């Protein structure tokens, strides 16, 4: 199984990658309240995910239960094909 390295802070795009989701699907889940909203840097307003938020997102992905308590289904990640 792949292990994901949790950092002190990551961008939204990196958080989506860590969860194995496209950015658009990840943003959709944030909008629906399934994934937590990102924090924002007070000086630049740039969104980011803290260590705790990363762990929340990864827990949602593992358990299929959003931070709002709703069940969510994810497609299985595609395995690389041998050509």
pLDDT tens by residue, 45-77 = 999 999 999 999 999 999 999 999 999 998 876
The C-alpha atoms of residue 18 and residue 54 are separated, in whole angstroms, by: 9
In the chain, what percentage of residues exceed pLDDT 90? 81
> Tell me, what's the pLDDT at 1?
47
> Model's pTM, two decimal places?
0.84
Mean pLDDT for the chain? 91
The C-alpha atoms of residue 19 and residue 35 are separated, in whole angstroms, by: 11
Tokens of 18: 């860590």
Comparing 5-9, 20-24, 34-38, 78-82, which segment has the lowest mean pLDDT? Answer: 78-82
pLDDT of 79 over the 70 cut? no
């Amino acid at each position: 199984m792949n292990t994901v390295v949790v950092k002190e802070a990551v961008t939204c795009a990196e958080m989506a990658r860590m969860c194995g989701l496209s950015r658009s699907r990840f943003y959709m889940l944030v909008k629906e309240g399934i994934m937590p909203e990102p924090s924002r840097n007070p000086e630049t307003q740039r969104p980011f995910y803290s260590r705790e938020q990363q762990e929340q997102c990864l827990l949602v992905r593992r358990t299929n239960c959003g931070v709002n308590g709703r069940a969510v289904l994810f497609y299985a990640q595609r395995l690389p094909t041998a050509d």
